[in-house]
Structure 1
Amino acid sequence: MLFNVVPTIFELTLVSSILAIKCGGAFAGIALGCVGIYSAFTFAVTQWRTKFRIYMNQAENEAGNKAIDSLINYETVKYFNNEKFEADGYDKALKRYEDASLKTSTSLALLNFGQNAIFSVALSAIMVLTAREIVHGVKIFIHLTYWNMTVGDLVMVNGLLFQLSVPLNFLGSVYREVRQALIDMQAMFTLMEVDTKIKNAEKAVPLQLTPSTASISFENISFEYVEGKRILDNLSFNIPAGKKIAIVGGSGSGKSTIIRLLFRFYEPQSGTITIGGQNINDVDLESLRRSIAIVPQDSVLFHNTIFYNLHYGNLAKGDEEVYKASKMADIHDSIMLWPKGYETQFMHIFCSLTLPYLHHPFLSAFEEIIFCFCQVIQEAHRLIIHHHHNNGRGLLRSANVVIFRDPTKTENKCTFRFLGRR
C-alpha cells in the first residue's frame, strides 16, 4: 500500500496543481473528478465481484475433494458399480466451478470496461475543453504573463492526464489485496484469541514411569461429546503394570473415546484418570504422550520410502535400530526382496490411479499394522495400545506376531492394552 497508494496520491496532487495553475480550475476539476469516479467505481465493483471469487475457490475445493474422495474409496465405488454416479458428481462439481469462473472473468471484464470508459470520457472532455480554448484564443497565465493556449498545451494536458492512467490501473488490485489482507488478519487475530482447552497445568511435572509402576486407572469417568449423549457413564477399571488386557465392544461403545481421554485429547466431565498413580491432568502433556505408544485403528503411512516410515516411530534412533525392529517384526527379509530394499518408495493405492506409470509396492492391511508396530517398538514405551477394528482373533494374532515374538525383550516391560470391535 505504501508503495502504490502514496505515490498515486502524490502524482495526482502534482498533476492537478499543474493543470490548475497553468490551464485553469476546470482542467484540474476534470482530472480530480475522473480519479474520484474511477476510484468509486473500482471499489464498488471489486467489492461486488469478491463473492464470485470466493464461490469459485469453494467450488474448486469441492471438485478436488470429490475427486480425491472417489479415488481413495475406489474399491467401494467398484463394489457397488457406482462409477457413473461418481463421475456425474464430479462433473457437477466442475460445472459449478466453471460457472463461478465465468462469473469471475465476466465481472473482471466489466470492471476493466468501466474503468476504461470513465478514463476515456474524462480524457475526451479535457481534450474538447483544451481545443475549444485554443480555437477561441483563451489566454493562460504563465510566469506572471498571459499567453494564448497552443497545440503544445493540448499535448501537455493529454500527457498529464494520460499519465494518471498508469497508477490508477493498479488501484483495483491494491484495494483487493489490502481488503483480503485485512480479512486474513482478522481471522488470524480471532484464531490467536482462541484459548486451548487442553493444556499443561501451571505446575505440571513430567510423567515418571517404571516397569513396575506403569499402571492405568479410570475412576468414575463420565464423558460426552454432545450434551445429552453420554458415551462413558461412571466408568471405572484398573490395569496393573505389566499386564495385557483387551477391551472389546460394539461400535460406539466408547473404545476410541478411552484412548482419546488417555492421551488427553479431551477432558472428561467427571472422574479421574491416573497413570502410575499420577493424575494425567497434573503431568506434562509431552511426557504423557511420549510414554504411550499406539498402533492406530487406521494405519496411515507416508508417501515416502519404507525406511522413512519405519524410522518415523523414533527419529532419534539410528539406522541399526530400524533394522533391529524390522527383524523383531519378521519383515526384514520381505523388505529386502523389494526392488530397492528399505529405500523402496511406498505409495498409497489411490496414487496409483493418478500415477499409473509408477510401480511401487503396496502393503496389505496386516502388513501396514506390522509396520506400525515397528514404529512403536523402537522406543521403550511403558504403555502400548493396539486399536484394532477387526475381531479379537485377528487382533491377538497381529499382536502376538509382532510384540511377543521375542518375549525376553518385551515381557514385563510394558502394559499392553488391546481394543477391538466385537
Structure 2
Amino acid sequence: MTSDPDAPDDRAARRRFMAELWDVMRAHRTRVAASVVLLLAAKVATVAVPLLLKRIIDDFSQPRLPLQLPAYLLVGYALLRFASTLFNEWRDLLFARVTLGAVSTYACKTFAHLHALGPRFHARRQVGSLLPDIDRGTSGIAYLLGVGLFTIVPTLVEIGLVLVIMLRRYPGGYAAVIAVTFLLYTGFTLVFTARRVMYQRRVNKLDSRAKGQMADSLLNYDTVKYFANEAHEAAKFSSTMGHWRDAGIKNQRALFLLHVGQSGVIAVGVAAIMLLAGQDVLAGRMRVGDLVLINAYALQVCLPLNALGFVYRESRDAWVNAERLFALLGERPEMPEVPGLPALVPSAGEVVFEHVGFDYEPGRPALDDVSLRIPPGTTLAVVGRSGSGKSTLARLLLRFYDPDRGRILIDGQDIRHCSPASVRRAIGVVPQDAALFNDTIASNIGYARAGAGRDEIVAAARAAQLHETIAALPDGYDSPVGERGVKFSGGERQRIGIARAILKQPVILVFDEATSALDSVSEHAIVRELDRLSERRTTLVIAHRLSTIVHAHAIIVMERGRIVERGTHAELLRRKGVYARLWLLQQRIDQDQARMATPDVAPPGGVPP
C-alpha cells in the first residue's frame, strides 16, 4: 500500500482523543442506555417483520383459504413496521443532546485552546484554512459518536439475529452463504477504503489551502489593487483549485471502485441464496412463504451490510476530518497555564527588569542582560532601530513569553509566578496597529472593560480626541467599524485603541509606537492627553518619533538587544552618542518633510528658487 505523506504519526494522540469521545458517552450514560434499548427494540421489530410476512403468505397460500381474515396478523405486520420507525426516531431524538453537546463542547474547547496558544503559533497559522478544519473536525466528531453505537452495533446485531433464525429454521448452507458474503464484503471494504483514505486526506488539505488563499487575498484586497495583481491572485487560486479537482477525481475514482466492488459481492451472495431457495421450493422441501422469508432476510442482511460499508467509509472520512482538529488540540502552548498561580496584586506600579535575556530562536538573542527600573508614576521611553528589542520588552512584560534568563518584577512580585491574566489586567496597551472587531465603535472601546457604561465610553473617546469624529457619524457610537476597522482611517483606529487604554484605567501603561499612524495635529493633541494620562501611572513608551518622548523621565537606547545608553533627553543629547545621532537624523527628516509640504513661492517677476 502506498504511504500517505499527509498521514499524522501521533497515534498516542489518536487513542487519547478516542478515549475522550468515550468519556463523552459516559457523561450521558443514561441517555445512551435508553438509546440502546430503543435501538434493540427497533431491530427486533425489523427482524420480526419477515417472520410475520411469511406467516401471512403461508396462510393465504393454502389450498383452502382461511374462513376469516387474519386481521391480527395484518394489523400486527403494519404495527411492527411502524414500531421500527418509531423506535429509531425516538432513539435519534434522545441521542441528539449527546451529539450536539459533544460538537458544542469540542468547538468551545478548540476556541479556548486557540486563545491559549502562544504568539509563535498565531504567527504561522492562517485563519482561512483554520476555520474549515475546525468545522469539518466537529462534524466528524459528531459522526464518530453516533456511528459506532447506532450503525455498526445494530447492523451486527441484525446480522446475528438473522443468522440465528436461518440456522434454526433452514439448512446450514443458507447461513454459510450469508457468512461468506459478510466476510468477503468486509475484507474488500477494509482494503479499498484504506487505499482511498489518502485521497480524502489530500482533498481536505487542498480544500483548506484554497480557502486560506481566498481569505488571505480578500483580507489584503487593497494590496492586490495597489499592484494590479487581480490576475495573479486568480491564477494562484485557480492552480490550487486545479490540484483540488484532480485529487477529487482520483478520490471519486477510488470511491467508484469501492461501490462497484461492494455491490458485486452483495449481488453474488443474494444470487447464491435465491438459487438455493428456488431449488428447495421446486423440490418441495420449502414453501413459498419460506422463499419470501429467505429473500427478505437476504436483503435485510445485505442492505445493512451495504450500510456498514458506507458507514466504515464515512467513518474513515470523519476521522480524516477530525485529524486536523485533534492536531490543533494537540498543539502545546508555549507558556502552559499553571493551575493555582496567585493573582498579581498591583499597588504603586513599579516595574523592574533584572538581567533579562530572551531568545526567539536559539542562537539569536532578542534581549541580552537587560536591567532597568521604572519607578511608580514615571515614564520610561525606549528607542532604537528596528529589531533592537524594543517591542520584546513589552511582550515579556505582558507575559506573552517568559524570560529565558533573569526576571521581571511588578511591585516586587515576579510575574513568572503570577497568573498571566492578572498581569495583563494591570497593564493598558496601545499597540502600533489597533486591531478592531467587526462591531460598533462603542463595543470596540468598551472591550477594554466589561460592563462599562455609555458615559464612560464617551469620556474615554473625548480624552482620545475622538468624540467629535464619532458624533458626526449618522449612527454615532453605534456605527459599525467593518472587518478589521476598514471603515475608519489608520489614525481613527489608533485613537480607538487609545480610548480603550484610557477606559481600562490600568496601573501600568504601554505605548508601542502609539502615535505612529497619526497626523501631526492629532499627534500633538493626543501626546498631550497621553502625558496627562501618564502623570499618575507607570508608563513604558516604545517610541519611533523621538519628538514624542522628550519629556520622559528617562530614556534608554537599545541596539541588538542590549541597552547602550540611558538618561534624560538633555543628558543624551550632551553625550553626542547614538541617541544624539538619531535625534539629528529625525530633525533632518522632519525639516525635509516640512519643506516638501510647503509650496515654493516665486519672487516678484522672477522664477521660483
Normalising by the smaller structure, the TM-score range is 0.7 to 0.9
**Which residue identity lines up with residue 244 of structure 1 in the other structure?**
T
Structure 1 residue 376 corresponds to structure 2 residue 523? no
Query: CA shift at 1:203, angstroms?
Result: 5.9
Which residue does 1:31 correspond to in 2?
178
The separation in 2 between residues aligned to 1:236 and 1:209, in whole angstroms, is 21
The separation in 2 between residues aligned to 1:179 and 1:276, in whole angstroms, is 55
> Are the counterparts in 1 of residues 491 and 518 from structure 2 also a CA contact under 8 Å?
no
- For 1:64-213, list aligned pairs within 5 A: 64-135=211-282, 137=283, 148-176=285-313, 184=322, 191=329, 197-200=335-338, 204-210=342-348
Match of 2:150, SS state, is coil
Query: CA shift at 1:201, angstroms?
Result: 7.9
The separation in 2 between residues aligned to 1:349 and 1:276, in whole angstroms, is 36
Structure 1 residue 3 corresponds to structure 2 residue 150? yes
Offset from partner CA, 1:216-260 (integer Å, 9 cap, x none) = 221211111211111111112222222223222222221222111
Match of 1:223, SS state, is strand
1:398–1:118 CA distance, 2 compared to 1 (3 A): farther
Which residue does 2:434 correspond to in 1?
299
Higher RCO (CA-CA < 8 Å; seq separation 6+): 1
Which residue does 1:345 correspond to in 2?
480
Which residue does 1:57 correspond to in 2?
204
> Are the counterparts in 2 of residues 38 and 118 from structure 1 also a CA contact under 8 Å?
yes
The separation in 1 between residues aligned to 2:329 and 2:487, in whole angstroms, is 40
Offset from partner CA, 1:62-111 (integer Å, 9 cap, x none) = 11111121222233333333222211101111112222222333333332
The separation in 1 between residues aligned to 2:536 and 2:527, in whole angstroms, is 11
Which residue does 1:252 correspond to in 2?
387
Query: CA shift at 1:11, angstroms?
Result: 1.8
Q: CA RMSD in A?
A: 3.0
The separation in 2 between residues aligned to 1:376 and 1:83, in whole angstroms, is 39
1:166–1:402 CA distance, 2 compared to 1 (3 A): farther
The separation in 1 between residues aligned to 2:424 and 2:292, in whole angstroms, is 76
1:319–1:189 CA distance, 2 compared to 1 (3 A): same
- Report which stretch shifted further, 55-64 or 189-198: 189-198
The separation in 2 between residues aligned to 1:395 and 1:257, in whole angstroms, is 26
Structure 1 residue 218 corresponds to structure 2 residue 353? yes
Which residue does 2:512 correspond to in 1?
387
> Are the counterparts in 2 of residues 198 and 267 from structure 1 also a CA contact under 8 Å?
no
Which residue does 1:367 correspond to in 2?
492
Structure 1 residue 405 corresponds to structure 2 residue 529? yes
Match of 2:262, SS state, is helix
The separation in 2 between residues aligned to 1:246 and 1:126, in whole angstroms, is 88
User: Gaps (5+ residues) in structure 1?
Assistant: 138-146, 351-360
> Are the counterparts in 1 of residues 511 and 542 from structure 2 also a CA contact under 8 Å?
yes
1:344–1:420 CA distance, 2 compared to 1 (3 A): same
The separation in 1 between residues aligned to 2:306 and 2:149, in whole angstroms, is 16
Structure 1 residue 416 corresponds to structure 2 residue 539? yes
Match of 2:162, SS state, is helix
**Which residue identity lines up with residue 296 of structure 1 in the other structure?**
P
1:178–1:318 CA distance, 2 compared to 1 (3 A): same
> Are the counterparts in 2 of residues 207 and 284 from structure 1 also a CA contact under 8 Å?
no
> Are the counterparts in 2 of residues 326 and 374 from structure 1 also a CA contact under 8 Å?
yes
Match of 1:298, SS state, is coil
Offset from partner CA, 1:381-410 (integer Å, 9 cap, x none) = 11111212886x9699766533633866x2
**Which residue identity lines up with residue 153 of structure 1 in the other structure?**
D
The separation in 1 between residues aligned to 2:219 and 2:476, in whole angstroms, is 26
> Are the counterparts in 1 of residues 197 and 317 from structure 2 also a CA contact under 8 Å?
no
1:225–1:195 CA distance, 2 compared to 1 (3 A): closer
Query: CA shift at 1:303, angstroms?
Result: 0.9
Query: CA shift at 1:411, angstroms?
Result: 4.7
How many residue pairs end up in the alignment?
397
The separation in 2 between residues aligned to 1:336 and 1:34, in whole angstroms, is 77
> Are the counterparts in 2 of residues 46 and 172 from structure 1 also a CA contact under 8 Å?
no
1:376–1:349 CA distance, 2 compared to 1 (3 A): closer
The separation in 1 between residues aligned to 2:257 and 2:332, in whole angstroms, is 41
The separation in 2 between residues aligned to 1:307 and 1:317, in whole angstroms, is 10
The separation in 1 between residues aligned to 2:168 and 2:497, in whole angstroms, is 81
> Are the counterparts in 2 of residues 201 and 282 from structure 1 also a CA contact under 8 Å?
no
Query: CA shift at 1:199, angstroms?
Result: 3.8
**Which residue identity lines up with residue 154 of structure 2 in the other structure?**
P
**Which residue identity lines up with residue 206 of structure 1 in the other structure?**
L
Structure 1 residue 236 corresponds to structure 2 residue 383? no
Query: CA shift at 1:324, angstroms?
Result: 1.0
Identity across matched positions, percent: 32
Query: CA shift at 1:191, angstroms?
Result: 4.7
Greater helix proportion: 2
Match of 1:404, SS state, is helix
Offset from partner CA, 1:118-162 (integer Å, 9 cap, x none) = 111111112222223344x2xxxxxxxxx6234443322211101
- Report which stretch shifted further, 234-243 or 117-126: 234-243
Query: CA shift at 1:345, angstroms?
Result: 1.7
The separation in 2 between residues aligned to 1:233 and 1:406, in whole angstroms, is 30
**Which residue identity lines up with residue 415 of structure 1 in the other structure?**
T
1:176–1:246 CA distance, 2 compared to 1 (3 A): farther
> Are the counterparts in 1 of residues 158 and 301 from structure 2 also a CA contact under 8 Å?
yes
The separation in 2 between residues aligned to 1:228 and 1:415, in whole angstroms, is 33
